[in-house]
Structure 1
């Protein structure tokens, strides 16, 4: 049970287990996003700079943790499957079956790019694993792309924390700004979708 701040909890985990502790924290971050990687990874890099953790082992373990967390969500998507996903989505206001079909077509064309680059985008880092499972992306491709994308993301943040030392929290500040921009774009896209759907529904009722 987490009774302290995320920083303290992750620090305790790494003090107790070493680099595998950082890997466990990242695995949990994939499944429970409130444990942000922008805190875990720079903190792990700082710990490596003090000699508490081995730098190479930290990169390897956190990448392994990313893959494990992603696989949990992949299998969740596989368990849901297409029929359950459509059934759930159909209960969401303004969402129609053809929207799901469009999403499926998009993922069929761009799924590999989405899985790779999605590992380096806040919010999408975790969520992208679910549609990959729903669409049953070949497991070797999913694991390979997730490993590569995660390795790039993790290494960048760990090295930033390593270089900044006690000032590792500066990394979190920059990423927080980046995350807000991503969320802002997502909200705009969602608002545009809702607006278009409302207008279309009104026009259809008028034609009736």
Structure 2
């Protein structure tokens, strides 16, 4: 049922899936879309679409990786240029100066590792690039290399996971279709064999 629905959607969307999935991967940190809609959901669907033949797998993997790295870089620049205004705003003042300082210290202490590991959680994935920009984490020396490593691993990994998951769904659906028939056949053969052995035993006892 779910596969049929996705198949109909994929047939209508077609190559636009490249743009849609790439946009959400980019926008997750660039404009913090990931706070409300994790980008990996669209990449998983894109992977499923690649397995179904709606789009090609490796171009989608490349688009996902590039979009993720570019989106985080934009998020970094937004935090770098607009971070001070955000911290002094009414919303920013809800967080104490000590908490802001602790966040800056954490990023400088852990550096690229914090950027890389931030990929593991949707909320952090959306916030860490901007926070790194606010903290003035060195871009070329620290942020960019770890951002590229995390973006390539996350973007490509999500698409490939969706691809593998889709193939698994086909296998599971096949087993769900023929599995009950096979089980019934095995039970029937077992029952007939049991009856046959029982009759032979009864005849042997009577003779």
What is the TM-score when the length of structure 2 is the normalising length? 0.64
Give the structure 1 partner of residue 196 of structure 2.
none
**Matched residue of 2:24: which SS?**
helix
For residues 103 and 158 of structure 1, what CA distance do their matches in structure 2 show? Answer: 32
Aligned residues: 158
Q: Does 1:15 find its partner at 2:17?
A: no
1:33-91 Cα offsets, whole Å, 9 max, x none, are 2333232111111111122222221111011111222122211111124x435423662
- Structure 2 contact 115–143 (Cα < 8 Å) conserved: yes
- Structure 2 contact 78–130 (Cα < 8 Å) conserved: yes
- Structure 2 contact 18–63 (Cα < 8 Å) conserved: yes
Give the structure 1 partner of residue 68 of structure 2.
66
For residues 72 and 152 of structure 1, what CA distance do their matches in structure 2 show? Answer: 19
For residues 63 and 14 of structure 1, what CA distance do their matches in structure 2 show? Answer: 21
Structure 1: gaps (5+ residues) = 1-6, 169-208
Describe how 1:1-208 pairs up with structure 2 within 5 A: 15-17=14-16, 19-30=18-29, 31=31, 32-33=33-34, 34-81=36-83, 83-88=84-89, 91-92=93-94, 95-140=95-140, 141-165=142-166, 167=169
For residue 21 of structure 1, report the CA deviation from its aligned partner. 4.3
What is the TM-score when the length of structure 1 is the normalising length? 0.64
- Structure 1 contact 14–22 (Cα < 8 Å) conserved: no
- Structure 1 contact 41–161 (Cα < 8 Å) conserved: yes
Structure 2: gaps (5+ residues) = 1-5, 171-207
Give the structure 2 partner of residue 173 of structure 1.
none
State which structure, 1 or 2, has the greater radius of gyration over its C-alpha atoms. Answer: 2
